[in-house]
């Protein structure tokens, strides 16, 4: 994972979307939130700024090192980060008001992607919400959509295979449907390149 790309390029690009996601999701101070595959922790930090008790997990210790460094610099006591596998989350069933994942489903092969979403469903509270942020499919026919295709192509390997499958299978709306979730709200950002879906389990 290219850390320079993330900390210096992707995080600044998505900062406003990450801030908007908190209001879009209707998270409020005191809520509990888990962000899976949190990378450099940028989304978790936006939760922390808003008084949400937030946890980020990622399997890559180099990505998490950035998250921990930023948490210490900001002296945020209400957020924490752990190394963990999103396909086997180290949390009890129904633990969190919100469970989110941003830009970490499009790059997974279908079995891993599905296992991550199943675990998100398991650890969210009965009346809680799942928040998905990823590329909007179909990608817009503009500079953002073209840029996304180019970046993903050069990522190569299983990342690109995952991206191709994500596009061909219908992106977030298909994932929501396949997992028996109800999409309550969908928002679009960055000239239609980014989709955010707030969903809940059918109870």
- The residue ranges that bind ligand SAM (CB under 6 A) are 1, 10, 37-39, 43, 58-60, 63, 85-87, 102-104, 107
Question: Nearer Cβ to ligand SAM, position 20 or 87?
Answer: 87
- In angstroms, rounded to a whole number, what is the distance separating the alpha carbons of residues 94 and 120? 9
Shortest distance in whole angstroms from residue 132 CB to ligand SAM: 11
Question: Nearer Cβ to ligand SAM, position 141 or 165?
Answer: 165
Shortest distance in whole angstroms from residue 32 CB to ligand SAM: 18
Determine whether 140 is exposed, middle or buried from the number of CB atoms within 10 Å of its CB (0-12, 13-18, 19+): middle
Residue nearest to ligand SAM (CB): 39
Question: Nearer Cβ to ligand SAM, position 58 or 97?
Answer: 58
Question: Nearer Cβ to ligand SAM, position 11 or 97?
Answer: 11
Q: Examine residue 138 and say whether the peptide bond preceding it is cis (omega within 30 degrees of 0).
A: yes
- In angstroms, rounded to a whole number, what is the distance separating the alpha carbons of residues 200 and 187? 15
Max CA distance (Å), the chain: 43
Q: The tokens of 146 are what?
A: 């073209």
Shortest distance in whole angstroms from residue 50 CB to ligand SAM: 17
Shortest distance in whole angstroms from residue 203 CB to ligand SAM: 27
- In angstroms, rounded to a whole number, what is the distance separating the alpha carbons of residues 38 and 145? 23
């Amino acid at each position: 994972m290219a850390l320079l790309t993330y900390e210096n390029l992707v995080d600044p690009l998505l900062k406003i979307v990450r801030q908007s996601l908190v209001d879009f999701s209707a998270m409020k101070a005191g809520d509990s939130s888990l962000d899976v595959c949190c990378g450099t922790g940028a989304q978790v930090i936006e939760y922390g700024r808003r008084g949400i008790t937030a946890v980020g997990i990622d399997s890559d210790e180099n990505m998490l090192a950035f998250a921990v460094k930023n948490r210490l610099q900001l002296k945020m006591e209400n957020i924490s980060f752990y190394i963990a596998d999103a396909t086997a989350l180290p949390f009890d069933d129904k633990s969190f008001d919100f469970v989110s994942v941003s830009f970490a489903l499009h790059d997974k092969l279908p079995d891993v992607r599905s296992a991550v979403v199943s675990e998100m469903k398991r650890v969210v509270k009965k009346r809680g919400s799942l928040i998905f942020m990823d590329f909007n499919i179909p990608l817009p026919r503009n500079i953002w959509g073209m840029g996304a295709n180019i970046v993903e192509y050069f990522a190569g390997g299983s990342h690109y295979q995952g991206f191709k499958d994500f596009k061909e299978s219908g992106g977030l709306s298909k994932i929501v449907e396949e997992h028996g979730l109800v999409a309550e709200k969908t928002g679009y950002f960055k000239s239609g390149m980014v989709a955010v879906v707030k969903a809940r389990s059918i109870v």
